Amino acid sequence: MGQASDSGAVGHDAASDSGAVGHDAASDSGHPAASEGDTLVTAGVARLLAMLDAGDVSAEDVVTAHLSRIAEYDGDVNAFLTVLADQALDHARDIDRRRVRGEPLGALAGVPVAVKDVLCTRGEATTCGSRILEGHRPPYDATVVTRLRDADAVMLGKTNCDEFAMGSSTENSAYAVTRNPWDLGRVPGGSSGGSSAAVAAHFAPLAIGTDTGGSIRQPAALCGVVGMKPTYGRVSRYGLIAFASSLDQAGPFGRGVADTAYAYAAISGHDPMDSTSIPEPVPDVREGLDSGVDRLRVGVVVEALGGGVETGVAARVREAAELLGKLGAKIVEVSLPHAKYGIAAYYLIAPSEASSNLARYDGVRYGLRVDGDTAEQMMAATRSTGFGDEVIRRIMIGTYALSAGYYDAYYVSAQRVRTLIIRDYREAFADCDVVLSPTSPSTAFAVGAKADDPLAMYLNDVFTVPASLAGLPALSLPAGLDERGLPVGVQLVAPLLGEAVLFQAANALEAEVGFDPVPRGGNAVHPPDTAHANA
Amino acid sequence: MSAIEQATAYEAVIGLEVHVELSTATKMFCGCAIDFGGEPNSRTCPVCLGQPGSLPVPNATAIEFAIRLGLALDCEVIDSSQFHRKNYFYPDMPKNYQISQYDVAICERGHLELEVDGEARRIGIHRVHMEEDTGKTLHVGTSGRIHGADYSLVDYNRAGIPLLEVVSEPDLRSAAEAQAYLSELRAIVLTLGISDAKLEEGSMRCDANVSLRPRGATAYGTRVEVKNLNSVRSLGRAVAYEIGRQTGVLDDGVEVVQETRHWDEDAGRTSTLRAKEEVFDYRYFPDPDLVAVEPAADWVARLGKELPELPSATRARLRSAGLAAHQAASLVSTGLAPVFEDAVAAGAPADDAVKWLTNEVLGWSNEQGVESGAVALSGADLAALVAMVSDGTLSTKLARQVLDGVLAGEGTPAVVARDRGLEQVSDASELERMVDEAIAAQPAAADRVRSGNHKAIGALVGAVMKASRGQANPALVNELLRDRLISGA
């Protein structure tokens, strides 16, 4: 592993580093505090936990370092819609007190996390990036949020996203356009662009996003971080504000596979509040992380390296396959013949569900209300004012697709395609253990480049949508940079409930790729000082 | 079928859709308690308020109740059914869609046996499906409806209460059959204990689909849906009205318009609520938040074995015990059969017990507005009351007063009779004194009896009863008067 910021780099190096960043450094008045802060914001989860456990740093130090970096640089990135600084510091101090008293602490005690603004946080603004939920304060926590709190992960704030998670660039937010930390003139991807940018910009080591058709994996790819969509039903959807219920799934971001596995372990597992939650216990994916790939078969999707894929992306995917082969994996070609219909099916199923899920935003009970002479006019005015263009477009598509006379031709046909794609994967997994493809056909594009071309925007999801339709676990990890110096992501897809093999393969590939997740280049966010981390 | 209905050239085809609000402890898809009378919006949570991010989880007891009703109606319990979303905007719907069952219901293809005017009828049950109730809207303003209201208030306490919708086949042919069907369905629901099934209060709601066709035709005529039927009586009146109205329309050579009509109980007629053009496109699709309902076969079998005796079986048993059909029907439909059976077991003659229940107890519950099945009268109380009458402790008239006391919760018949001072006076010396006083007070009447006009004795008996405020034993008074005036003792 070439990079100290790799979360896998726990061990003697980390232990020897920790001596240099003790409490004394923080009390110094000069630059050492900044160096310590930079070390804390580049450290992986295992290393942070080791330092916290050893008492070398406090949770307050860790949280303060991240909040400082957010305060200084999020004006350039706009990753956060809400920064919960006071709450985060209170939680951190509480963790520190409990640690001193020897009280039990959660598995991520003191590790900061950023949460996408579609996950409900009790008493704290949860807007889905939409005007219609401006100032909405849910009366309850999403199960994912509860589990993060139970793990004593410290929530730094709520991250920006495309409105109701509809988009692939985070330009559809009613509040801000999030910028890609690798090039502030480019988009971070979406819809979980705030979460991917927060992790890439070293505002938080971990973030939670949601993925309906690629909304974790594509921004992870564009921001040079790891993003993982669990098997549908592995992570509770309770409190995840619905876009398309049969596809929505929350999942983690991290700057390394191991970090991402920590967050996955914290949020996954059965929840009786979600009828679609899978009751089976979740194996600890961290146990097999280092098992290698020499007994694995990796299927390369033959259709995925043809036209429409940028050459830099295709090159990194081929290299990734070669690296896996070099590590002992058997590389096979697999075909997903119906995946090409995935986008069409997805853009009928998801808007259909969305048209119903978003019906509740009518001004009657919560959120925005625009008055009208009658209840009907009030509801219409509220919705016309509160929803942005892309949301309205999808509500209209979905309403049309579900209408009497069109339902069979659109919704039912789309569900048949879904069945065919599930069958494609089943056949592919007869020949391999994981499927490899690009995550996104392109690297990060310029802000505004596709904003007025919905179809071009939808094609960003071409490689991520099939796994969503099939409910499969999938992960994007950085495979290097393209010729412009922008991160390229590769996607691994595993069979249902195959998270362990997914993390195992990704971890092996990550070590071989040796990607440095610190954004660099002329228009990148100001990088943290990695001198200490590299020491 | 009445003579008027039979006289027309048309046959009525009627199907009923009946909603039953289940008396589960909690709502259909969340843990909110179902308790009536709470402050508006006090029995709510993120789920039944449709808060963003909340998800429904089905209530297992509601599913059990649905299966039990389906089994009681001889339905097939479907091994895999689904919840759909019925999409439409209305402020009393927290999510602007209702979770309901659509193409496949939990129970399908059953039937209900009726006896109407001595004729056995088998009415098909199309399906029993589960859904959630809506909230209640109060439109403040002169119109009282959402259009033209100054403002509207919404109470979501009812939102999410489990409902079963029982859809009959169009097998009913008269208002009387419709009424019999609704009464019987209600009796079954009450027997199962799955709802309090109060039509007046809306915990049971009935819509009627009514159409006419020429007698002998097989094709159905255009149907009209009639809403706002808040009692079995309303149903009968509304169906009879609608049959008459449609008969008039057809006799005029005009076609019946397919529409939804509102029954006005006070005016005694229906009026247009919604024309066919206004029928909504509900855009049904399977609710992706819920998985298929797949009840285990052994569970369904056990629920079938544990079904209580159904009203038809109870009626048959009561009739075989000697009751007339109407008596058995009355006891079952009013929920008084258990009281009757307990009273008989405690020694009351069946004839006496059924008369007291169908005449006195039902009369009292109607007057007091108490649900007949909920009266505070045990079989033992009724048996004791009947015994007190037959052994002369109470006259029939006094016994009615004692029954009032028992029903008012004053205690057993013996306690009420004692506390109210209602025991019959059978003490000979006391009665002799009162008889002598009556003879002294009405010498002319006494003379008429003495001279052979035995009917005149009635006036004297009446005087004694009046003087005793009804508590004298009339048989003994009669006997004493005869001794004095006729035998010439």
E-strand stretches of A339-473? 434-438
Q: What is the pLDDT of residue A4?
A: 38
The answer to whether B197 and B187 are in contact (CB under 8 A) is no
The listed range with the strongest mean pLDDT (A428-442, A449-463, B370-384) is: A428-442
Same-domain check for residues B106 and B52: yes
Same-domain check for residues A38 and A102: no
- Average the pLDDT over B407-428 and give the result: 79
Residue A293 lies in a domain: yes
Q: Based on the structure, what is the number of domains in chain A?
A: 2
- Point out the catalytic residue in the list A5, A191, A196, A277: A191
Conformational region of residue A258, where left means phi above 0, alpha means psi within -120 to 50, and beta covers everything else: alpha
Question: How far apart are the CA of B378 and the nearest CA of chain A, in angstroms?
Answer: 44
Is A116 tagged catalytic? yes
Q: What is the pLDDT of residue A530?
A: 64
Residue A395 lies in a domain: no
Q: What is the pLDDT of residue B432?
A: 84
The answer to whether B318 and B291 are in contact (CB under 8 A) is no
Least confident of A180-194, A434-448, B432-446: B432-446
- Average the pLDDT over A123-136 and give the result: 97
* pLDDT band of B7, cuts 50, 70, 90: low
Strands A112-116 and A154-159: parallel
Within 13 Å and on the Cβ side, how many CA atoms surround A346? 30
Q: Mutate which of A145, A243, A348, A360 to disrupt the B interface (most B C-beta within 10 Å)? A: A360
More confident residue, B177 or A29: B177
Q: What percent of chain B has pLDDT over 90?
A: 52
Question: How far apart are the CA of B279 and the nearest CA of chain A, in angstroms?
Answer: 12
Same-domain check for residues B294 and B317: no
Same-domain check for residues A157 and A37: no
Transcribe A460-471 into DSSP letters. GGTTTHHHHHHT
Domain finish residue from B247, B274, B303: B303
Question: How far apart are the CA of A245 and the nearest CA of chain B, in angstroms?
Answer: 6
Cβ-defined contact of A120 to B283 (cutoff 8 Å): no
Same-domain check for residues A331 and A462: yes
Compute CA distances A120 → B57, B306, B428, whole Å: 18, 44, 86
Q: Would you state the torsion angle of the CA atoms of residues A482, A486, A487, A491, taken in this order, to the nearest 10 degrees? A: -60
Domain finish residue from A57, A75, A105: A57
Q: What is the pLDDT of residue B433?
A: 85
Question: How far apart are the CA of B362 and the nearest CA of chain A, in angstroms?
Answer: 46
The answer to whether B132 and B29 are in contact (CB under 8 A) is yes
B→A contacts (Cβ < 8 Å), by residue, are 46, 49-58, 85, 87, 89, 91, 94-97, 146-147, 149, 152, 154, 281, 283-285, 287-291
Q: What is the pLDDT of residue B276?
A: 67
* pLDDT band of B451, cuts 50, 70, 90: confident
Question: How far apart are the CA of B57 and the nearest CA of chain A, in angstroms?
Answer: 6
| Radius of gyration of chain A measured on its C-alpha atoms | 22
Q: What is the pLDDT of residue B372?
A: 76
* pLDDT band of A494, cuts 50, 70, 90: very high
Asked whether residue B54 carries a pLDDT value surpassing 60, the answer given is yes
The answer to whether A406 and B283 are in contact (CB under 8 A) is no
Same-domain check for residues A11 and A75: no
Domain finish residue from B276, B303, B330: B303
Same-domain check for residues B127 and B153: yes
| CA dihedral sign of residues A13, A16, A22, A28 | negative
- Average the pLDDT over B291-300 and give the result: 96
Cβ-defined contact of A360 to B147 (cutoff 8 Å): no
* pLDDT band of A18, cuts 50, 70, 90: very low
Same-domain check for residues B445 and B403: no
What is the per-residue pLDDT across B186-241, written as a single tens digit (0 to 9) for each?
999 999 999 999 998 889 999 999 999 999 899 999 999 999 999 999 999 999 99
The tokens for A404 are 């009497």
What is the per-residue pLDDT across A466-483, written as a single tens digit (0 to 9) for each?
999 999 999 999 999 999
Same-domain check for residues B115 and B153: yes
Cα–Cα distance between B87 and B282 in angstroms, integer?
5
Same-domain check for residues B269 and B351: no
Same-domain check for residues A95 and A218: yes
Residue A376 lies in a domain: no
Same-domain check for residues B52 and B100: yes
Q: What is the pLDDT of residue A33?
A: 44
- Point out the catalytic residue in the list A7, A58, A116, A158: A116
Cα–Cα distance between A228 and A211 in angstroms, integer?
9
Asked whether residue A371 carries a pLDDT value surpassing 70, the answer given is yes
What residues contact B34, with CB distance under 8 A and at least 6 apart?
B23, B24, B25, B26, B27, B43, B161
Cα–Cα distance between B291 and B295 in angstroms, integer?
12
Same-domain check for residues B147 and B224: yes
Cβ-defined contact of A360 to B288 (cutoff 8 Å): no
Q: Mutate which of A346, A371, A402, A411 to disrupt the B interface (most B C-beta within 10 Å)? A: A402
3-state secondary structure of A438: strand
The domain that holds A209 is classified in CATH as 3.90.1300.10
Closest CA to A286 of A430, A107, A53: A107
The answer to whether A109 and A45 are in contact (CB under 8 A) is no
The answer to whether A352 and A411 are in contact (CB under 8 A) is yes
Residue A378 lies in a domain: no
Write the ipTM. 0.90
Q: Bridge-partner residues for A481, per DSSP?
A: A487
Same-domain check for residues A32 and A156: no
What is the per-residue pLDDT across B246-268, written as a single tens digit (0 to 9) for each?
999 999 989 999 999 999 999 99
Transcribe A140-195 into DSSP letters. S--HHHHHHHHTTPEEEEEE--SGGG--SSS---SS----BTTBTTB---SSSHHH
Same-domain check for residues B213 and B353: no
The answer to whether A485 and A478 are in contact (CB under 8 A) is no
Q: What is the pLDDT of residue B489?
A: 43
Domain finish residue from B277, B303, B329: B303
Q: What is the pLDDT of residue A9?
A: 35
DSSP state, residue B442:
-
3-state secondary structure of A90: helix
Cβ-defined contact of B288 to A353 (cutoff 8 Å): yes
Strands B10-21 and B204-214: antiparallel
Residue A374 lies in a domain: no
Residue A388 lies in a domain: no
A-to-B residue pairs, Cβ atoms closer than 8 angstroms: 109
Asked whether residue A402 carries a pLDDT value surpassing 80, the answer given is yes
**In chain B, which residues have their Cβ closer than 8 Å to the Cβ of A352?**
285
**In chain B, which residues have their Cβ closer than 8 Å to the Cβ of A115?**
none
**In chain B, which residues have their Cβ closer than 8 Å to the Cβ of A133?**
52
Closest CA to B100 of B156, B16, B164: B164
Cα–Cα distance between B437 and A230 in angstroms, integer?
101
Asked whether residue A26 carries a pLDDT value surpassing 60, the answer given is no
- Average the pLDDT over A239-243 and give the result: 98
Same-domain check for residues B111 and B243: yes
pTM: 0.86
Q: Which helix (H) or strand (E) holds A396?
A: helix A389-402
**In chain B, which residues have their Cβ closer than 8 Å to the Cβ of A379?**
89, 91
Q: What percent of chain A has pLDDT over 90?
A: 87
What is the per-residue pLDDT across A42-67, written as a single tens digit (0 to 9) for each?
999 999 999 999 999 999 999 999 99
Cβ-defined contact of B288 to A404 (cutoff 8 Å): no
Same-domain check for residues B293 and B360: no
The tokens for B341 are 């059976």
Is A191 tagged catalytic? yes
First-to-final CA distance of chain A: 14
Cβ-defined contact of A364 to B87 (cutoff 8 Å): no
Q: Which residue on chain A is closest to B91 by alpha carbon? A: A364
What residues contact A169, with CB distance under 8 A and at least 6 apart?
A162, A187, A188, A189, A190, A193, A445, A447, A450, A451, A457, A460
Backbone angles phi, psi at A239, to 5 degrees: 90, 0
Same-domain check for residues A251 and A231: yes
> In which domain, by residue range, is B446 found?
428-485
Same-domain check for residues A99 and A220: yes
Same-domain check for residues A47 and A91: no
Q: What is the pLDDT of residue B146?
A: 65
> In which domain, by residue range, is A30 found?
1-57
Same-domain check for residues A84 and A43: no
What residues contact B111, with CB distance under 8 A and at least 6 apart?
B73, B74, B122, B123, B124, B125
What is the per-residue pLDDT across A289-343, written as a single tens digit (0 to 9) for each?
999 999 999 999 988 877 789 999 999 999 999 999 999 999 999 999 999 999 9
Residue A531 lies in a domain: no
Same-domain check for residues A152 and A29: no
What is the per-residue pLDDT across B72-128, written as a single tens digit (0 to 9) for each?
999 999 999 999 999 999 989 999 999 999 999 999 999 999 988 888 899 999 999
Cα–Cα distance between A402 and A351 in angstroms, integer?
10
Q: Based on the structure, what is the number of domains in chain B?
A: 3
The answer to whether A517 and A224 are in contact (CB under 8 A) is yes
Q: What is the pLDDT of residue A373?
A: 86
Residue A256 lies in a domain: yes
Asked whether residue A12 carries a pLDDT value surpassing 50, the answer given is no
Same-domain check for residues A25 and A161: no
